[in-house]
Amino acid sequence: MAYIIKRKDRFYVVAYDGLDPLTGKERRRWHPAGRDRHEAEEIAGRIQNDAAGAAPPRGGPVNLGEFLVDTWLPIKRRHVRATTAYRYSWMVDNYISPSIGHIPLRRLHADHLDGLYDQLATNGGRAGTGLAAKTVHEVHMIIRSSLDLAIRRQLIGVNVAQATNARHKRLARTVPRSWTAEELATFLAAAQPQRLYPALHLTALTGMRRGEVAGLKWSDLDRANQRISISRTIQSIAGQPAEFPVKTRTSRRCVDLDEQTTDVLARWRRRLTRDGLPHERDDWMFVNPAGRYVNPESISQLFDRLQRQLPDLSRIRFHDLRHTHASLLIMDGVPVKVVSERLGHANVAFTMHTYQHLLPGMGATAARQFAALLTAHTR
């Protein structure tokens, strides 16, 4: 669905792109259409035709698997990031098509979907121990979105996935896991002999995402002002690294560095120089021994190997280094807005929601401080 909006003297075509299969949120895209309403109507018409997709590749009943692969996925690839499109395709190939992909769209019932979700939750996944509720929900949202498209294509009259939505809602967000300052210091001390220690150190001391660290170039480092600019990310697609812009507008940011981190990066650059590897302004900051930019997966794998060598530490994910950075700052009294800006969150409210489990204790401290302040000025 596309509709026209006029702002001041200009027209815009707003295209409704359905629900995001992973988040469940509505997706809308704005297209500038100039000052001519007739031109805006033509753009809206083209968008409507594009959303309807191509005709089925053959006659007869269309199976769910065929519709997902031949119609829904090609449309999605034009509107989402390559990493997201790859995840959609992987879930279709591994979770949906093997079980119910052979069922014609018009014969698909809610019972088929309930059976799929129960099977995935019970014995899905590589280990056969069942998928997380969040993953099952993502599968459900993919099917629901594809059936919405099938309705617009007039292939079916009812979206049977609507009947299963209540049973497979996204669970409440879990509390992020993190290390204490002592645990983090222990890990970093053990990691120092590793070649890519500077990447681990930078992640822990800035809260940057894995892809953001892998996507840094030396031109992003302002050593004089001790800050680093984040404008791109490296993501792993089908095991191969690929470069993208950062995820959101607020993800493009500058992060202040401490003096120790600046020195760690300087020593790393000198090491690259000694090894004869690229180290100029336009070169990647973190490279493998062959001089190519490092695959973000290799950073995570190094982190996991080091954890296994430290059995006394609690096990966390690589992404939890980001949570550790934020948690330690908040517990030390750093304003949430400052933490939110360092992490590149879309807004402060998201940061507060994510780390609200740390705020009650800080509230108690604030209450005591206020009472002490009042007592000191009471005669």
For the chain, domain boundaries:
181-313
Average pLDDT over residues 301-324: 94
- Please provide the CATH number assigned to the domain covering 181-313: 1.10.443.10
Least confident of 59-63, 68-72, 282-286: 59-63
Residue 286 burial (C-beta neighbours within 10 Å; 0-12, 13-18, 19+)? buried
CA 115, 120, 125 angle in degrees (round to 5)? 160
Residue linked to tokens 């206020």: 370
Neighbouring C-alpha atoms within 13 Å toward the C-beta of 365: 9
pLDDT tier for residue 175 given thresholds of 50, 70 and 90? low
Q: Which residues on neighbouring strands pair with residue 12, listed in sequence order?
A: 5, 32
pTM of this structure: 0.66
pLDDT tier for residue 238 given thresholds of 50, 70 and 90? low
CB-CB contact of 322 with 209 (8 Å):
yes
Of the candidates 268, 10, 58, 54, the one whose C-alpha atom is nearest the C-alpha of residue 149 is 54
pLDDT tier for residue 2 given thresholds of 50, 70 and 90? low
